[in-house]
């Protein structure tokens, strides 16, 4: 765990093939995953029996499945096997966001707009707390056998990415624009949560991430903010499928113009005036604390489930989950240093061994509580660990 008391957040590191990582996640958080996925599905179906029926969710899976990577499918299967849940139940829970609608906000600042030139980015997930997702927080760091290590700030067993960052400094923010009136949706394409996961696996920089979004057969309506902490730049996108508009910083064509800035992109829906005022006041002064203040200023109050602030240059993040009915923006933001958990460099080589634990297969799960190990080599067919800070 990191944080303290009611603000403790589990940080899990899983490595291996997609199936092995899913199995490890399911084993390490079996009760939490079963509690979250089962409860989430039940609450959704109770709230709207037709929209979230098994038939509707299965049909959604059939629509997006041809556009969903085998990695994602294998990890879902691993989660199901690791928890003992049926694969159908795990898939259906992951289809709830596909047929639902959300509202959120995001900002990226870098260069002259930040105090030290680092690229900072926020993502507020504004979603009702009544579903209880906040009772099952999980920051999952993936070190795959093939692909770029990445962090998914999520909920137990939810492997799609609402927001995340990879070891190359690519950070992702989504803002949902799809109104309920658009339902039923055309789902013949890829959902952003699986597309984001692919980007974290494969994109080494902003250009590669943008190219992947351009090439994806997208569905529904979203805004995206994509940051690159290594090269210190970001873009904002209006991704109303099949339309895709891309704005750089200080772009006179940005929908927020003339309220635009150099080295800043932002979208906070109806809270744009609040974001603009904050950005105007603190431009050039943004550090982690100022970014947390900005995050706290732009949620949908009463429906703010999860807030994240990234320093995509140093690979750090600050995370706040709602606590019961208390919104995330009112909670402390817990600090996570991704590099503390990440034996990785750009060449894909593992770093110095300090401690290690290895499991020979999904039938044997090894856990290791690490009190003060800055690096851990993860080896073998499958290795899983939780660091307690």
Q: Which of 338, 304, 382, 309 is nearest to 144 (CA)?
A: 382
DSSP for 159-223, written as a single string:
-S-SSEEETT-EEEEEEE---GGGPSP--SSB-HHHHHHHHHHH-SSHHHHHHHHHHS-B-SEEE
Q: Which of 139, 111, 104 is nearest to 221 (CA)?
A: 104
- CA dist 28 and 82 (Å) reads 8
3-state secondary structure of 80: helix
pLDDT for position 103: 72
pTM: 0.89
Q: Which phi and psi angles does 355 have, rounded to 5°?
A: -145, 155
3-state secondary structure of 292: helix
Classified by CATH at the fold level, domain 10-387 comes out as Penicillin V Acylase; Chain A (3.60.60)
* 165 DSSP β-pair partners: 151, 171
Are 53 and 154 in contact by the 8 Å Cβ rule? The answer is: no
pLDDT for position 268: 96
- CA dist 315 and 293 (Å) reads 20
pLDDT for position 351: 34
Other CB atoms closer than 10 Å to residue 140's CB: what's the count? 26
Distance of CA 233 to the CA centre of its chain: 19
Instruction: Tell me the longest C-alpha to C-alpha distance in the chain.
Output: 58
| pLDDT in single tens digits along all 389 residues of the chain | 666 666 789 999 999 999 999 999 999 999 999 999 998 899 999 989 999 999 999 999 999 999 999 999 999 999 999 999 999 999 999 999 999 876 789 999 999 999 999 999 999 999 888 889 999 999 999 999 999 999 999 999 999 999 999 999 999 999 999 888 888 889 999 999 999 999 999 999 999 999 999 999 999 999 999 999 999 999 999 999 999 999 999 999 999 999 999 999 999 999 999 999 999 999 999 999 999 999 999 999 999 999 999 999 999 999 999 999 999 999 999 999 999 988 755 554 433 222 233 232 343 332 322 222 222 333 233 343 433 32
Q: Which of 75, 70, 98, 77 is nearest to 190 (CA)?
A: 98
pLDDT for position 380: 30
Q: How big, in percent rounded to 5, are the helix, strand and coil portions of the chain?
A: 35, 30, 40
pLDDT for position 389: 29
pLDDT for position 5: 67
Provide long-range contacts, Cβ within 8 A and 24+ apart, for 353-356. 353/377, 356/383
pLDDT for position 54: 96
């Amino acid at each position: 765990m990191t944080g303290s008391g009611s603000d403790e957040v589990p940080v899990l590191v899983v490595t291996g093939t997609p199936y092995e990582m899913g199995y490890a996640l399911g084993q390490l958080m079996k009760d939490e995953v079963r509690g979250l996925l089962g409860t989430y599905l039940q609450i959704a179906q109770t709230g709207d029996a037709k929209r979230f029926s098994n038939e509707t969710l299965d049909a959604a899976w059939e629509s997006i499945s041809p556009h969903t990577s085998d990695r994602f499918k294998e990890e879902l299967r691993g989660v199901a096997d690791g928890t003992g849940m049926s694969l159908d139940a795990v898939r259906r829970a992951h289809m709830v966001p596909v047929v639902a609608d959300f509202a959120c906000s995001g900002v990226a600042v870098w260069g002259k707009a930040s105090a030290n030139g680092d690229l900072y980015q926020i993502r507020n997930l504004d979603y009702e707390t009544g579903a209880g997702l906040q009772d099952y927080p999980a920051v999952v760091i993936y070190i795959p056998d093939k692909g770029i290590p990445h962090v998914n700030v999520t909920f137990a067993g939810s492997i799609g990415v609402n927001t995340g960052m990879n070891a190359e400094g690519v950070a992702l923010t989504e803002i949902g624009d799809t109104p309920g009136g658009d339902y039923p949706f055309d789902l013949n394409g890829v959902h952003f949560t699986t597309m984001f996961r692919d980007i974290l696996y494969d994109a080494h920089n902003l250009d590669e991430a943008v190219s992947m979004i351009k090439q994806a057969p997208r569905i529904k309506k979203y805004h995206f903010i994509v940051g690159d902490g290594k090269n210190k730049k970001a873009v904002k996108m209006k991704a109303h499928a099949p339309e895709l508009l891309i704005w750089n910083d200080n772009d006179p064509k940005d929908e927020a113009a003339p309220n635009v800035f150099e080295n800043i992109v932002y979208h906070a829906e109806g809270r744009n005036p609040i974001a603009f005022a904050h950005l105007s006041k603190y431009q050039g002064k943004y550090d982690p604390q100022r970014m947390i203040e900005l995050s706290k200023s732009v949620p949908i109050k009463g429906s703010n489930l999860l807030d994240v602030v990234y320093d995509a240059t140093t690979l750090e993040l600050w995370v706040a989950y709602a606590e019961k009915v208390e919104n995330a923006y009112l909670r402390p933001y817990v600090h996570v240093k991704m590099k503390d958990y990440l034996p990785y460099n750009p060449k894909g080589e593992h770093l110095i061994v300090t401690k290690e634990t290895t499991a020979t297969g999904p039938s044997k799960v090894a856990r290791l509580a690490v009190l003060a190990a800055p690096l851990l080599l993860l080896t073998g067919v499958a290795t899983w660990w939780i660091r307690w800070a």
